[in-house]
Amino acid sequence: MDTGFFLATLFNLFMNIFYTLIALVVGLIALKVVDSQLLKSLDIQEELKNNNMAVAVFSSTVLLFVALIVSFGLKG
């Protein structure tokens, strides 16, 4: 196998892992902001413990969209 190809593959792997970690951190921060600022009367953690599927879908959607926005911003 060509060494240059292998190094390029490793570089792409680590960059994608880096993008993923940044998107995850920013997504969690965004979810905390939404929880504390926009949904003051609703505790997301408590609702997740009570198996509220609507809150679970909402939380995962927020994380997904923030991750998409961050990933497009970093790669663009």
Concatenating the DSSP letter of every residue in 18-44 gives HHHHHHHHHHHHHHHHIIIII-TT--H
Query: pTM of the prediction?
Result: 0.64
How far is residue 63 from each of residues 8, 22, 41, 42, measured CA to CA in Å?
29, 12, 20, 18
Sequence spans of domains, the chain: 3-75
Q: What is the mean pLDDT of residues 1-26?
A: 86
13-43 in b/e burial notation, b at 16+ Cβ within 10 A? eeeeeebeeebeebbeebbeeebeeeeeeee
Q: What is the pLDDT of residues 20-55, one digit of tens each?
A: 888 788 888 888 888 788 878 888 888 889 999 998
Answer positive or negative: Cα dihedral of 72, 70, 58, 40: negative
